[in-house]
């Protein structure tokens, strides 16, 4: 691709992949590391791999409520009778099991020395001080061996992992009360447009409520970013420059919406070009062809289109992977899944289209993606109705029942 003096890429449209890989290559990973309580680590990004100092479990223990036995004492057929010598609850330690003895044992309790199997209580009958059950019993049955979950000295969580509830639980299981994480990425959000009114204020004629600011708050909060609300700036160059300068002072990344097209009321790109550097990309994507990326002082800059659905789609496709990589995350690309088309698509597009779609299960159990009837980039209700996006590659037609690629919102948000 070639770049002209005003920062616009000429000639062909950039493909989605070209834009994504360029952005990922430019995402400088945060360096500052903090220590947080494991209990408060949800959504944070692990800055170093963690090694377990212990085996989990730390000792052989019973997987069931029942009787711990020595399998060699059990007859291969018929009933075996053993003397109940002790009772071992979870958290207690028993004594050694002698030949001919069984221990009453509960789930999680340590196996007594000598015992190698547990007979579940449903298979046992107690007769006075004896326990009776049918053989055979296999050595190791219903026993969880030491280190069954985790072997001490091995890596349990790798650097670059976004911490989910299960990572919190696993870290706790190896005794880690705190975890090293990258500091939060600070992201400033700024809307551009004379027509924008904040919800809660009176809507005058020719005005609309600012939805993108709130949409972006949600998107960024889902990624664990620290938000800075820079409000709205009017369609005026000096004010836009001033707002960007303030945003750059407190944020690592600035995300704006509106004002990045080539109309004479669009000042965002000129303001960015004056304060730093700007590339205005024409990406082969619909909705959302224009996307501005650059630098305002030390902050990264993304100028999203003003139409809310375009802002949502370009954020999910381009800004989200960038922000994740910037935060140190290893796995940043969303996964798509193959489902059947519940609609026909006849138009041969030159841009890749992302349709707002809902999954509907048919009588045969198959999931079909139904497309929202109004796919305009101003129709935000399409995204509320939808479960995700169907990806229609450039130059493809589809009939009902054909395989299509579906990106669930669960892969795109958060």
Interaction site with Mg ion (CB under 5 A): 193, 258-259
Closest CA to 281 of 79, 9, 81: 9
Closest separation in Å from C-beta 43 to Mg ion: 33
Selected binder of ligand AMP within 308, 328, 342, 408 (CB under 6 A)? 308
Residue in this structure with the two tokens 């999954």, named with its chain if needed: 359
Contact call for residues 284 and 292 (beta carbons, < 8 A): no
Site residues (CB under 6 A) for ligand AMP, limited to 261-280:
261
Cβ closer to ligand AMP: 97 or 189? 189
Contact call for residues 133 and 67 (beta carbons, < 8 A): yes
Look at residue 85 and give the partner it binds from Mg ion, ligand AMP, none, a contact being a CB closer than 5 to 8 Å depending on partner kind.
none
Look at residue 38 and give the partner it binds from ligand AMP, Mg ion, none, a contact being a CB closer than 5 to 8 Å depending on partner kind.
none
Selected binder of ligand AMP within 211, 242, 246, 295 (CB under 6 A)? 211
Residue in this structure with the two tokens 């949800």, named with its chain if needed: 42
Site string for ligand AMP, 87-126 (x = CB under 6 A): ----------------------------------------
**Spatial separation of the C-alpha atoms in residues 100 and 81, rounded to whole Å:** 8
Cβ closer to Mg ion: 97 or 311? 311
Contact call for residues 299 and 254 (beta carbons, < 8 A): yes
Structure tokens at 276: 């730093």
Cβ closer to ligand AMP: 80 or 212? 212
Closest CA to 159 of 31, 318, 40: 31
Selected binder of ligand AMP within 191, 240, 314, 327 (CB under 6 A)? 191
Closest separation in Å from C-beta 20 to ligand AMP: 22
Structure tokens at 114: 């000598």
State the CB neighbour count (10 A cutoff) for residue 219: 24
Site residues (CB under 6 A) for ligand AMP, limited to 240-259:
257-259
Look at residue 321 and give the partner it binds from Mg ion, ligand AMP, none, a contact being a CB closer than 5 to 8 Å depending on partner kind.
none
Look at residue 307 and give the partner it binds from ligand AMP, Mg ion, none, a contact being a CB closer than 5 to 8 Å depending on partner kind.
ligand AMP
Structure tokens at 408: 């669930």
Rule CB under 6 A: is residue 327 a binding residue for ligand AMP?
A: no
| Residue with the CB atom nearest ligand AMP in the bound state | 306
Contact call for residues 296 and 267 (beta carbons, < 8 A): no
H or E segment and range at residue 188? strand 186-192
Cβ closer to ligand AMP: 195 or 387? 195
**Spatial separation of the C-alpha atoms in residues 95 and 21, rounded to whole Å:** 62
Q: β-pairing, 226-233 with 186-192?
A: parallel
Contact call for residues 271 and 4 (beta carbons, < 8 A): no
Query: Would residue 391 be called left, alpha or beta, if left means φ above 0 and alpha means ψ between -120 and 50 degrees?
Result: beta
Closest separation in Å from C-beta 245 to ligand AMP: 20
**Spatial separation of the C-alpha atoms in residues 320 and 185, rounded to whole Å:** 12
Closest separation in Å from C-beta 188 to ligand AMP: 14
Number of residues interacting with ligand AMP: please give it, by CB under 6 A. 17
Look at residue 161 and give the partner it binds from ligand AMP, Mg ion, none, a contact being a CB closer than 5 to 8 Å depending on partner kind.
none
The residues that touch ligand AMP, with contacts defined as CB under 6 A, are 191, 193, 195-196, 208, 210-213, 257-259, 261, 305-308
């Amino acid at each position: 691709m070639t770049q002209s003096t005003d920062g616009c890429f000429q000639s062909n449209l950039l493909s989605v992949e070209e834009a994504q890989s360029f952005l990922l290559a430019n995402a400088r990973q945060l360096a500052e590391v903090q220590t947080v309580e494991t209990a408060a680590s949800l959504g944070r990004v692990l800055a170093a791999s963690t090694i377990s100092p212990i085996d989990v479990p730390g000792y052989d223990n019973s997987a069931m409520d029942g009787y711990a036995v020595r399998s060699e004492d059990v007859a291969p057929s018929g009933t075996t009778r053993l003397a109940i010598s002790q009772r071992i609850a979870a958290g207690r330690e028993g004594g050694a099991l002698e030949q001919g003895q069984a221990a009453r044992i509960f789930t999680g309790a340590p196996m007594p020395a000598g015992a190698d199997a547990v007979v579940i209580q449903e298979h046992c009958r107690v007769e006075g001080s004896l326990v009776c059950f049918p053989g055979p019993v296999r050595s190791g049955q219903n026993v969880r061996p030491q280190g069954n979950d985790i072997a001490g000295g091995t890596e349990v969580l790798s650097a670059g992992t976004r911490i989910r509830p299960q990572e919190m639980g696993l870290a706790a299981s190896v005794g880690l009360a705190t975890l090293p994480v990258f500091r939060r990425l600070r992201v400033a959000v700024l809307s551009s447009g004379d027509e924008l009114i904040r919800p809660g204020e009176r809507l005058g004629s020719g005005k609309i409520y600012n939805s993108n600011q709130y949409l972006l708050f949600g998107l960024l909060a889902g990624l664990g970013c620290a938000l800075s609300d820079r409000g709205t700036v009017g369609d005026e160059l000096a004010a836009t420059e001033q707002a960007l300068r303030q945003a750059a002072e407190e944020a690592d990344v600035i995300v704006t919406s509106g004002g990045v097209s080539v109309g004479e009321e669009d000042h965002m790109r000129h303001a960015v070009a004056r304060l730093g550097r700007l590339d205005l990309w024409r990406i082969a994507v619909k909705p959302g062809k224009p996307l501005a990326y650059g630098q305002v002082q030390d902050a990264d800059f993304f100028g999203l289109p003003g139409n809310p659905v375009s802002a949502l789609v370009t954020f999910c496709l381009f800004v989200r992977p960038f922000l994740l990589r910037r935060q140190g995350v290893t796995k940043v690309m969303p996964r798509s899944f193959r489902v059947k088309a519940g609609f026909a698509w006849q138009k041969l597009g030159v841009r890749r289209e992302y349709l707002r779609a809902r999954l509907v299960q048919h009588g045969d159990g198959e999931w079909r993606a139904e497309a929202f009837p109004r796919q305009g980039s101003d129709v935000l209700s399409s995204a509320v109705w939808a479960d995700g996006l169907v990806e229609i590659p450039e130059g493809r037609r589809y009939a009902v029942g054909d395989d299509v690629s579906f990106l669930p919102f669960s892969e795109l948000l958060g």
